Chains A and B, each alone.
Chain A
């Protein structure tokens, strides 16, 4: 009797194995897929200016009439001019290419310190829906930690003339990143993959744009404090560039570093910023 059971098991094994594998997957009928991770990095190498925006100095009325399109500045900030570039993301919402599939939401807030190269807490890897993902939305949100409580963006540095610039505010916007036309971000079989979101804070403001603005005195130090009321055009441009001056790359060599191998495979996505005033 025992022997006959063993024999039956052996005979059924080829049929039962796929069933067992299917039951271990994410959902009924879904194949096993690997996980996708997002690493948000500062991209300091690819600073160019293909289509620079005209660097105008406009009064408030004109600034309100102009909607910055996120074009890069004609002259990005020089290396070393930046001191801090930190974003607080309220969440990252991954958009399946199959619109009927459920959006994957990673809830924050996530504090992304671009120059320090860290995201706190780290964005968790997630299982990619069948059909892949075609982009994500990442709204800025006020931080909860003592350092960033009530603020979503810190952008500081020093102008060429030695004047400090500071943007520390609760900027409201949603950064929208989409897969390049015709592409799908997917993960094959059980192989985990990493997407780099390469942000370029040196392009958030142009050297001349900063030089055009009048600083004030604070603590005996000349300081340009960028806020929506006093510098509406510069504010709007910085906001528009957060996502539009970023790019997506796959970690082709799986080494966790955005490098030439990843760049040579080309950008796999682009971004836009949607203001939420």
Chain B
């Protein structure tokens, strides 16, 4: 019954998504021409199960243009009462932290441009602000190029300061069929943003490339010295990747610090994760775990599958020599459930690269493989592509 209601909910969610896309397309004629190229949370967010709370996904308040909701999809998992599988819960927490860090710079942008005409338009450049939010003064620029190409730049400084505005985030997009969707790059310097806005706790840099197409979205992030806040003393340098297909299949690749329950103490290990999830059916995580309680030269492999209700159906933990993760020298540490409980097309493990920053090919990507930019974008409109 629960599964059936979830499927019905998914159908409604899919219809809502379709309506959302059509609505966004139709809004173009009514919007300011510069808004077409403005970044927003829904375009850059990573997701696994499309649960808006667990993964800090975009809501109406994150939309730059017409008010559109992603709550319909979120309702899929709101009524699930079993705890989510550990192999899913921890990656979802990492997704939430990334999405929240993106919101740190995207919410001021939405605040400046939503329902507001630019304060100044000079040639092909529109400016919104400066506006003081809390104790920080923000201003935002969009540069319109040719053929639906846009660049954008967010600047900030402490309220009352006479210092120059600092560049805190920038990006570029070639808009596709839907407004604010297409191919492009974005970057936020959370170190600079946190210096001028004390309410921003995350630190480091997040650089992203994205491509939205009719079959789905492809995202690639480069995280540099990323921490979620001052209490997080273990910065991450890693590549995050995501493929979200419109038929409800999400594949992500992540890295995070967290305690593996099967280890001896609560010390945090470094976890490299490949997570695949079919909305309303279930999913699988394959993790490479090092550091913390795990001896030098060893690597622990964790595979876990979960049901449509996100409850664990199979989990196995193996210790392997660091130079060979799949061989017979691996020793099983623990096992629960039945591997046959995994979805048929998720029966085989798919581990991420052992190098957290190495690119992971995704042959099923609908928009080809993407790599994040190697440095902060300039904010200029792209001139090729």
Residues on A close to B: CB < 8 A? 142, 144-151, 154, 156, 164, 166, 168-169, 216, 218-221, 223, 225, 227, 230
Contact = CB atoms under 8 A, between A and B. Distances in A.
Nearest to B231: A230
Given A149-B114, A216-B230, A223 B198 contact: yes
A142 B67 CA distance: 15
The 10 closest A-B pairs by CB, nearest first: A149-B111, A168-B134, A218-B198, A146-B131, A223-B198, A219-B195, A146-B111, A225-B198, A146-B112, A150-B107
B158 A147 contact: no
Interface string B281-313: 000000000000000000000000000000000
Instruction: Give the interface centre of B116, B158, B198, B229 by most chain A CB atoms within 10 Å.
Output: B198
7 contacts: A142-B61, A156-B135, A218-B195, A218-B196, A218-B198, A221-B198, A225-B199
Nearest to A216: B230
A216 B110 contact: no
A218 B190 CA distance: 12
A156 B194 contact: no
Contacts of A166: 134-135, 198-199
B61 A151 contact: no
Nearest to B200: A218
A147 B131 CA distance: 6
B194 A218 contact: yes
A147 B198 contact: no
Contacts of A220: 195
A225 B201 CA distance: 9
A223 B116 CA distance: 31
Nearest to B157: A219
B107 A219 contact: no
B135 A146 contact: no
B115 interface: yes
Contacts of B195: 218-220
Nearest to B194: A218
B134 A156 contact: yes
Contacts of A142: 61
B132 interface: yes
A54 B111 CA distance: 39
Interface string B189-212: 000001111110100000000000
B78 to A, nearest CB: 16
Contact of B111 (A150, A164, A216, A218): A150
A147 B135 contact: no
Contacts of B131: 146-147
B134 A154 contact: yes
A7 to B, nearest CB: 63
Instruction: Give the interface centre of B132, B199, B230 by most chain A CB atoms within 10 Å.
Output: B199
A156 B158 CA distance: 14
B353 interface: no
Contacts of B115: 144
A218 B192 CA distance: 10
Contact of A219 (B112, B133, B158): B158
Contacts of A144: 115
B235 interface: no
Instruction: Give the interface centre of A142, A146, A219, A221 by most chain B CB atoms within 10 Å.
Output: A146
B198 A150 contact: no
Nearest to A226: B199
Nearest to B230: A216
B134 A151 contact: yes
Contact of B110 (A149, A151, A154): A149
A227 B158 CA distance: 19
B373 interface: no
B134 A219 contact: no
Nearest to B112: A146
Nearest to A86: B134
Interface string B91-110: 00000000000000001001
A148 to B, nearest CB: 8
Nearest to B140: A146
A252 B196 CA distance: 46
B321 interface: no
Contacts of A154: 134
A220 B196 CA distance: 9
B70 to A, nearest CB: 16
B145 interface: no
A164 B194 CA distance: 15
A144 B110 CA distance: 10
A146 B61 contact: no
Contacts of A146: 111-112, 116, 128-129, 131, 133
A148 B114 CA distance: 12
Nearest to B138: A146
Instruction: Give the interface centre of A142, A145, A148 by most chain B CB atoms within 10 Å.
Output: A145
Contacts of B129: 146
Contacts of B230: 216
A146 B111 CA distance: 4
B135 A164 contact: yes
B196 A219 contact: yes
